[in-house]
Amino acid sequence: MAEVPCGYTQVFGPGLQELMVEHSPDAEATVIELADGTFVIRPDGSSVSYHTWNCPRAVRFTVFWDNGTSTAEVLTP
Protein backbone atom coordinates (compact mmCIF):
# COMPACT_ATOMS: atom_id res chain seq x y z
CA MET A 1 0.00 0.00 0.00
CA ALA A 2 1.22 3.51 -0.85
CA GLU A 3 2.32 5.84 1.90
CA VAL A 4 1.20 9.41 2.45
CA PRO A 5 3.92 11.95 1.63
CA CYS A 6 6.06 12.18 4.74
CA GLY A 7 6.68 15.88 4.31
CA TYR A 8 7.26 18.83 2.08
CA THR A 9 9.25 22.05 2.03
CA GLN A 10 7.92 25.13 0.28
CA VAL A 11 9.72 28.41 -0.40
CA PHE A 12 7.59 31.21 -1.79
CA GLY A 13 7.91 34.92 -2.29
CA PRO A 14 7.88 37.61 -4.96
CA GLY A 15 10.14 35.68 -7.39
CA LEU A 16 11.69 32.24 -7.06
CA GLN A 17 9.40 29.46 -5.82
CA GLU A 18 10.55 26.05 -4.63
CA LEU A 19 8.77 22.85 -3.61
CA MET A 20 10.29 19.59 -2.41
CA VAL A 21 7.98 16.66 -1.60
CA GLU A 22 9.32 13.61 0.23
CA HIS A 23 7.41 10.39 -0.51
CA SER A 24 7.93 6.66 -0.79
CA PRO A 25 9.73 5.43 -3.94
CA ASP A 26 6.54 3.89 -5.39
CA ALA A 27 5.24 7.33 -6.46
CA GLU A 28 4.59 7.50 -10.21
CA ALA A 29 4.21 11.27 -10.50
CA THR A 30 3.91 14.45 -8.48
CA VAL A 31 1.75 17.22 -9.94
CA ILE A 32 2.34 20.76 -8.66
CA GLU A 33 -0.64 22.99 -9.32
CA LEU A 34 0.14 26.69 -9.68
CA ALA A 35 -2.26 29.60 -9.65
CA ASP A 36 -2.01 29.59 -13.48
CA GLY A 37 -0.76 26.16 -14.55
CA THR A 38 0.86 22.87 -13.52
CA PHE A 39 4.21 21.05 -13.39
CA VAL A 40 4.48 17.27 -13.58
CA ILE A 41 7.46 15.53 -11.98
CA ARG A 42 8.24 11.87 -12.66
CA PRO A 43 10.39 10.81 -9.68
CA ASP A 44 11.57 7.55 -11.38
CA GLY A 45 11.95 5.54 -8.16
CA SER A 46 13.33 8.44 -6.15
CA SER A 47 11.77 9.34 -2.79
CA VAL A 48 11.90 13.09 -3.57
CA SER A 49 10.10 15.29 -6.09
CA TYR A 50 11.71 18.74 -6.41
CA HIS A 51 11.10 21.75 -8.64
CA THR A 52 11.93 25.48 -8.74
CA TRP A 53 10.29 28.16 -10.89
CA ASN A 54 9.59 31.90 -11.08
CA CYS A 55 6.11 32.96 -9.91
CA PRO A 56 3.22 32.26 -9.43
CA ARG A 57 3.01 30.34 -6.19
CA ALA A 58 1.92 26.71 -5.89
CA VAL A 59 -1.56 26.14 -4.51
CA ARG A 60 -1.59 22.33 -4.24
CA PHE A 61 0.41 19.22 -5.02
CA THR A 62 -0.81 15.70 -5.67
CA VAL A 63 1.27 12.51 -5.51
CA PHE A 64 0.05 9.64 -7.69
CA TRP A 65 1.03 6.13 -6.56
CA ASP A 66 1.70 3.03 -8.65
CA ASN A 67 -1.36 1.29 -7.15
CA GLY A 68 -3.76 3.86 -8.67
CA THR A 69 -4.31 5.98 -5.54
CA SER A 70 -3.31 9.60 -4.96
CA THR A 71 -2.68 11.97 -2.06
CA ALA A 72 -3.18 15.75 -2.28
CA GLU A 73 -2.04 18.61 -0.07
CA VAL A 74 -3.38 22.17 -0.31
CA LEU A 75 -0.59 24.72 0.17
CA THR A 76 -1.17 27.95 2.02
CA PRO A 77 1.14 30.97 1.85
pLDDT per residue as tens, the chain (77 positions):
445 556 888 888 788 899 999 999 999 999 999 888 889 999 999 999 999 998 888 899 999 999 999 999 998 76
Q: Are 54 and 15 in contact (CB under 8 A)?
A: yes
Q: What is the pLDDT of residue 62?
A: 95
C-alpha distances (whole Å) from 5 to each of 13, 39, 45 are 24, 18, 14
Q: What is the pLDDT of residue 74?
A: 92
pTM summary value: 0.85
CA distance 62 to 23: 11
Q: What is the pLDDT of residue 3?
A: 52
Does the structural domain 7-67 have CATH classification 2.60.40? yes
